[in-house]
Structure formats: C-alpha cells, structure tokens
Amino acid sequence: MGLDFSIIPKYLDVVLLGAAWTMGITVASAILSFFGGIVFAVIALYAPWIIRQPFRLIEWVFMGTPLLLQLFLIYFGLVQIGIDLPAFVAGIIGLGLHFAVYNSELIQTAILAVDKGQMEAARTLGLSRGEALRKVVIPQAVRAVIPPIGNNMIALLKDSALVSVIGVSELTLSAQRVIGKTYRPFEFYILAAAFYYVINLCMEWVQRKIERRIAISR
Amino acid sequence: MDFELMLKVYPFFLEAAWTTILLSVLTAILGLTCGTLGAAARLSRFAALRFLGAAYVSLFRGTPALIQLFILYFGGPQIGIQLDAFEAGVIGLGINAGAYMTETIRGAIISIDKGQREAARTLGLSSWQATYQVILPQASRLMVRPLGVNLNMLIKATALVAAISVIELTYTAQRYIGSTYKPFEMFLLAGVLYMIIIYVVGRGVAWLDRKVQIN
C-alpha cells in the first residue's frame, strides 16, 4: 500500500477539530500547572513540617514516574472513588498536576533567589507574611521563571498527545479515528505531526516575544 | 489497600520491569549514537549537514514522541518498514531521544572556550587533533550531568510504548488496572519499580560525574 495524501482534505475537518481540542487542553492544563506550581512552591517552602514532608514525597513520585502511568491512576482512580469525570477533565487534571510539580521546582528556586530584603522591607511596612509573599515576593519570582516555564508549556503541548490513551478526542485520537476509517496511518499521523509542529512553532514565537518584553522591562 | 492482590501480581510487574530496563538501555545506546551524529552534523563546516542536523532536532523535538512512534509502527509498513512493536519502540524512542541529546552534546562542545582550539592549533595540532585531543575530553566532562537528565526523561518516555502494546511496566499496570479495578495498587507497584530504576541510574550518573571531574 503506497502513500496517497490526496485523501487528506476529505477528513481535514475532523483533524482540525482535534487540533482545536489539543489547543484547549494545552491552555487549560498550562493555566492549572502555572497556578498549581505557585501553590506547590509555597507549600514546599513555607508549610509546616507535617504538611511539607508528605508533600515532598508526592512531588518525588510525580517526578519519578511516567506521565502516562499517572494519567491511568488519575483517570481510573477518580472513577474508583466515585468521581466520574469526563476523560478530558481527567486529562487536564493529570497534565496540569504533572507540570505543576515541574513548575514548582522552578518557582521554588526563584522564590529563594528573591532578595531577603524584599520580604523584610514588606514586613517592616506592615504587610503580613502571607501578603508579603503574595504581593511582593511571588510576583518577582514568577517574572524570573517565565522563560523556563515556557519550555515546560511547550513540553506540555507534546505530552498532551498522551491523553488520547485515556480516550480524549484531541488531535492524536482524532487522527486515530480517521485512520480507523481510511486505513491510512502514515498520511494522517504525518498530518497530526504537522499540526503539532505548527502549534509548537507558534508557542516558541510567543515565548520569544514574552522573553524580549521581560528583558526590556528589566 | 489490597496487599494480597499486590503480592499475587508483583512477579508480572518484575518481569515487565526487565523489559523496561532492556528498552531503556537499547534506547539510550541508539539515542547517544544519534545524538553524537546530530551534534557532529550541527557543528559541521558544511552548511548542508548543519541544516540537516538542525532539521532533525527541530522536527523530532517539535512533535510528540507518541506520534513519532505511531508513524513508525503503524505507518512504516506503507513505506516498506516492517517492525515488531519492541523494535519500533526502541528505534522510535532512540531517534527521539537523540534529538534532545544532540542539543546536550552540542551545548557542551560550544561552551568550551574558543581559545582552547586556537591554542591547540597554534601548538601545531591539526583541526582533527584539536577536536579529539583537546575539545572533546573537556566537553565530555560537561556532558555527563545533562545527559543524565536526558536519560531520566528517556526512561520515563519508555512508558509510551505501552500504546503500541509492548508488554513493559506501564502496559502491565494498565492491563491489571483494567482487570482488577485497583488503580492505586497497580500504580504503586509500577511506580515503585520506575523510581528504583530512576534512582539507581541517577546515582550511577552522579558517580560518573564525580569520576570525570578534575579536582
């Protein structure tokens, strides 16, 4: 069986819809992972020992096991404890938590790198510890980690393909469905790859823009 | 927590862990080979090779590894490449890891001060000798730790071959989750084995890194 790319236009709408889902899932998980990362970083640095230690263990597990395995745990685990979420919600939670742990690592380093005087000055001015963190320290730390977080978000786009395995109809699964009808795996997986590549290039472009803006405002 | 069940199925996970280890080792060897060739191409004096190297890195890092596996395994037969799932897994993941390793190796090489090459050339070494006797020995020390990070990612990426039904750790966990409805127990079994593998490899990399540093 040779190649026949002329079949693509007929099913382009299905694949395009999949690409839209991929973008939506990526954006939703990126937002979750960003704010999750901040929360995790604050817990890892400032929570009392009794919370911090088990939390470290969870972080360690998330970083030491494959995302695919974590997705199975979250998807089937939630069902087992009686929470029957749609697959795409489970996918967003899984991707979001996984990358929140990676973002948290970056944000922790950045928070520690913010000058101690910032916190002291804020406290002197009458802000509480929580306020000082929220309004003074974290905004400065987050700004410093935006470029490496951008790299994580690009990795997130590519890892979003994994949620096809738990049945989310994003780009990869849409391609699979079309292949089920046409028996043309090569053509449609290449098409899916091309979509991922273009989205990836767009994200890299945005990342460069943001980096430049941060560099200017410093 | 159903410990009885875990005790009953753990031999299957242990067996699957060996497959994961074998996959990781073969993928790492292929990845390092591709990475070395890729870095050589990217640093070549020939523009065509530099372009090929850059295209390799951009395309393979710019698309999901899962899709690359699917193209190779399901699409391969259409262009005359017939591989079984394990072979496709090793080749697909190896070429993918190679793209990341290309950048690691290249990064280490270009971080060596230009003066080193110039000094070597001035002392009468040929360009080839300068590369192999002066630049690479220094660069290889810088590579160990970042290649260790690549290796860590690679081990976790072997889970992807579960999607083309290679019976490794993640596939085994998935199958037993499906048949026992005990996701947490099965995750624990597979997760602990992954973390042991990653821990041992991490220690190995740290040991090698200490070994190659000059005090």
Dump pLDDT digits (tens) for B130-163.
988 999 999 989 999 999 999 999 999 999 999 9
In terms of CA atoms, which chain A residue is nearest residue B74? A185
Looking at the structure, give the CATH architecture of the domain made up of residues A20-170: Orthogonal Bundle (1.10)
Write the ipTM: 0.89
* Average pLDDT of span B35-43: 95
Give the residue ranges of DSSP H helices in A84-184: 87-113, 116-124, 129-132, 138-159, 171-182
In sequence order, which residues have a C-beta less than 8 Å from that of residue A116 and are 6 or more positions away? none
Q: Give the phi and the psi of residue B111 in degrees, each rounded to 5.
A: -85, -5
Q: In degrees to the nearest 10, what's the CA dihedral of A172, A176, A179, A183? A: 120
Query: What's residue B202's pLDDT?
Result: 94
Matching residue, tokens 């990612």: B153
Query: What's residue A218's pLDDT?
Result: 61
Query: What's residue B215's pLDDT?
Result: 61
State the Cα–Cα distance between residues A99 and B158, nearest whole angstrom: 19
State the Cα–Cα distance between residues A85 and B120, nearest whole angstrom: 64
Q: Which residues of A touch B181 (CB under 8 A)?
A: 76, 80
Show which residues on chain A lie within 8 Å of chain B, measured between beta carbons.
Answer: 1-3, 60-61, 64-70, 72-73, 76-77, 80, 158-162, 164-165, 172, 175-176, 179, 184-187, 189-190, 192-193, 196-197, 200-201
Query: What's residue B30's pLDDT?
Result: 97
State the Cα–Cα distance between residues A15 and A195, nearest whole angstrom: 9
A199: closest CA of chain B, how far (Å) = 9
Express each pLDDT in B90-125 by its tens digit: 999 999 999 999 999 999 999 988 889 899 999 999
| Other Cβ atoms closer than 10 A to A67 | 23
Whether pLDDT at B128 is above 90: no
Q: Which two tokens stand for residue B106?
A: 């290249």
Q: Which two tokens stand for residue B182?
A: 């005990």
Query: What's residue B56's pLDDT?
Result: 97
Nearest to A186 among B79, B163, B173 (CB): B79
Q: What is the percentage of chain B residues whose pLDDT exceeds 90?
A: 74
Q: Which residues of B touch A158 (CB under 8 A)?
A: 63-65
Q: What does the radius of gyration of chain A's CA atoms come to, in whole angstroms?
A: 21
Query: What's residue A1's pLDDT?
Result: 65
Determine, for residues A200 and B63 on separate chains, whether the beta-carbon distance falls below 8 Å.
yes
Q: In which domain, by residue range, is B12 found?
A: 3-212
State the Cα–Cα distance between residues A114 and A109, nearest whole angstrom: 9
Query: What's residue A130's pLDDT?
Result: 87
Rounded to 10°, the helix A87-113/A8-46 angle is: 40
For chain A, the structural domain boundaries read 20-170
Answer for the pair B184, B1: CB distance below 8 angstroms, yes or no. yes
In terms of CA atoms, which chain A residue is nearest residue B156? A66
Tell me how far the alpha carbon of residue B46 is from its chain's centroid: 27
Answer for the pair A47, A55: CB distance below 8 angstroms, yes or no. yes
Determine, for residues B70 and A77 on separate chains, whether the beta-carbon distance falls below 8 Å.
no
Which of A73, A164, A203 best tests the B interface by mutation, with the highest count of B CBs <10 A? A73
Q: Which two tokens stand for residue A186?
A: 């090569």
First to last CA, chain B: 50
Task: Report the number of distinct structural domains present in chain B.
Answer: 1
Stretches in chain A below the pLDDT threshold 70: 1, 216-218
Closest Cα to residue A96, out of A174, A163, A142? A163
Element (H, E) at A71: helix A67-80
Q: Which residues of B touch A201 (CB under 8 A)?
A: 62
Answer for the pair A55, A43: CB distance below 8 angstroms, yes or no. yes
Query: What's residue B52's pLDDT?
Result: 96
Name the amino acid, one letter, at B172. Answer: T
Query: What's residue B182's pLDDT?
Result: 87
Q: Cα B161–A148–A132 angle (5° rounding)?
A: 125
